[in-house]
Amino acid sequence: MAVAELTAPTCAKQGLGSSQLSYLSARTSSFRRLSFRPPRRTHSSRISCSVNQTAQAPVAVETEVPKSNKPECFGVFCLTYDLKAEEETKSWKKLINVAVSGAAGMISNHLLFKLASGQVFGHDQPIALKLLGSERSFQALEGVAMELEDSLFPLLREVQIGIDPYEVFQDVEWALLIGAKPRGPGMERAGLLDINGQIFAEQGKALNAVASRNVKVIVVGNPCNTNALICLKNAPDIPAKNFHGLTRLDENRAKCQLALKAGVFYDKVSNMTIWGNHSTTQVPDFLNARINGLPVKEVITDHKWLEEEFTEKVQKRGGVLIKKWGRSSAASTAVSIADAIKSLVTPTPEGDWFSSGVYTDGNPYGIAEGIVFSMPCRSKGDGDYELVKDVIFDDYLLKRLTKVLFSP
């Protein structure tokens, strides 16, 4: 069968595309905008000490947090330090605005400190973090912001917390959409769609209204491919290409399993594609992957293991972890979000690629258009990506891909 056969119109009507798209039309119009606003944070008593007063002892006064032109800023980040001048002396880059939803949740708790430390966007990249929570999580969100204050990160220039995406997403250049219900033991990720889908419709609308016109959006909340599609369909003024459903955790898991089987360290595994959804139908591609620069099938000659055990291990890793841990993976997910961002802001090493769930329009593989599907990507490091053209397909891979496209 040729790759082009995957373009059969029925793909879009019956398969993955149809479940993604029918959800869209049924649900996207029924979400209300949050109207609750948290009270502006004030302190009845604080120590007043401006940066220019180092020779003077601090004086305790009754006052509010200093006035600032950052209306929703949090705590120490409201102070009007002359950070611009300081940035120039350090030849730092221009500040970037990064929104994180579900900011009081497990994944964010690992991710935020990586972002603020410079590990993700670079050690010369000042950052403003805009944290989105909800009425129920607002106290927890304050706790997270307090921990960020106490960490004294030099690159962290602003922290804003809020529950209205139309405020929190204002001018953001990156939106990391994590906030969504996680699954519990025995559930499939698709079972979360009814609860989580509407979150991404609302957030897509908010991004469309107020975010930077070139915002890059990484959707993590499950089912992340469908949620990414819902989000992009609700943000028609932002390029569809800018939306990603996170499949980097699957890529990392697949690399680890191949390394384990081959008896090499996992940095020796490259060119790992995850095709399809972040779900149990995903196809970890061992045909194109390499170990020490050689095709995996030359290094691991147990092809039955590759086709059966390896594939299933990667597909079901999240569920197995939930059974053991009692909740879904958080730390490794945060690492994979960091990896996904780094792959977009640094040039992809020569000959290698990374996986991301991206919009299929114009793809060179014959995958049905109009859906979000994980495919191999390369980046020049400018936040954008191109799909990799020089991948090969054999009967096994085509059969698996066809199954993904036609599964309900």
Ligand X SMILES: O=C([O-])CC(=O)C(=O)O
Q: Which residues contact ligand X (rule: CB under 6 A)?
A: 182-183, 189, 222, 249, 278, 318-319, 321-322, 328-329
CA distance 75 to 79: 8
**Residue of the chain from 17, 126, 162, 182 that contacts ligand NDP (CB under 6 A):** 182
Q: What does 319 interact with, of ligand NDP, ligand X, none (CB < 5 to 8 A by kind)?
A: ligand X
Q: With CB cut-offs between 5 and 8 Å by kind, which of ligand NDP, ligand X, none does residue 134 bind?
A: ligand NDP
Instruction: In whole angstroms, give the CA distance from residue 378 to residue 347.
Output: 8
Closest CA to 104 of 141, 69, 156, 66: 141
User: Minimum distance between the CB of residue 195 and ligand X, rounded to whole angstroms?
Assistant: 13
Q: Between residue 127 and residue 156, which ones bind ligand NDP under the rule CB under 6 A?
A: 133-134, 136-137
**What angle, 0 to 180 degrees and rounded to 10, lies between the N-to-C axes of helices 16-27 and 395-406?**
20
Interaction residues for ligand NDP, span 185-204 (CB under 6 A): 195, 199
Q: Which long-range contacts (CB under 8 A, 24 or more apart) does 38-45 make?
A: 38/138, 38/161, 38/162, 38/163, 41/65, 41/74, 41/75, 41/142
Would you give the binding string for ligand NDP spanning residues 332-361, x where CB under 6 A is met?
-x----------------------------
Q: Could you tell me which residues come within 8 angstroms of residue 154 by beta carbon, excluding any fewer than 6 positions away?
A: none
Which of ligand X, ligand NDP, none lies near 137, with the C-beta cut-off 5 to 8 A by kind? ligand NDP
113 contact partners, CB below 8 Å, separation of at least 6: 147, 148, 151
CA 189 to chain centre: 16
* CB of residue 316 to ligand X, shortest distance in Å: 9
Helix 106-117 and helix 331-345: axis angle, to 10°? 40
Catalytic site residue from 110, 123, 244, 278: 278
Asked whether 246 and 336 are in contact (CB, 8 A), the reply is: yes
> Any contact of residue 183 with ligand NDP (CB under 6 A)?
yes
Name the segment binding ligand NDP (CB under 6 A); options: 25-33, 268-276, 325-333, 400-408: 325-333
Q: Which stretch binds ligand NDP (CB under 6 A): 21-29, 73-81, 101-109, 234-242?
A: 101-109
Max intra-chain CA distance, the chain? 79
**Pair of tokens at residue 391:** 């991948």
Shortest Cβ 53–ligand X spacing (Å): 49
> CA 148, CA 129: separation in Å to the nearest integer?
10
Among ligand X, ligand NDP, none, the one that 104 touches (CB under a kind-dependent 5 to 8 A) is: ligand NDP
299 interacts with ligand NDP by CB under 6 A = no
- Which one of ligand X, ligand NDP, none is in contact with 258 (Cβ closer than 5 to 8 A by kind)? none
Residue 107 binds to ligand NDP (criterion: CB under 6 A): yes
> Residues touching ligand NDP: how many (CB under 6 A)?
28
Q: Which residue is nearest to ligand NDP (CB)?
A: 105
Residue 278 designated active-site: yes
What whole-number distance in Å separates Cα of residue 54 and Cα of residue 335? 39
Q: Least CB distance from residue 15 to ligand NDP, whole Å?
A: 20
Nearest CA-CA partner of 166 in 196, 136, 203:
203
Distance in Å from the first CA to the final CA of the chain: 22
Q: If binding is defined by CB under 6 A, does position 224 make contact with ligand NDP?
A: yes
Which residues in this chain contact ligand NDP in the complex, by CB under 6 A? Answer: 102, 104-107, 133-134, 136-137, 178-183, 195, 199, 220-222, 224, 246, 249, 278, 328-330, 333
Return the active site residues: 278
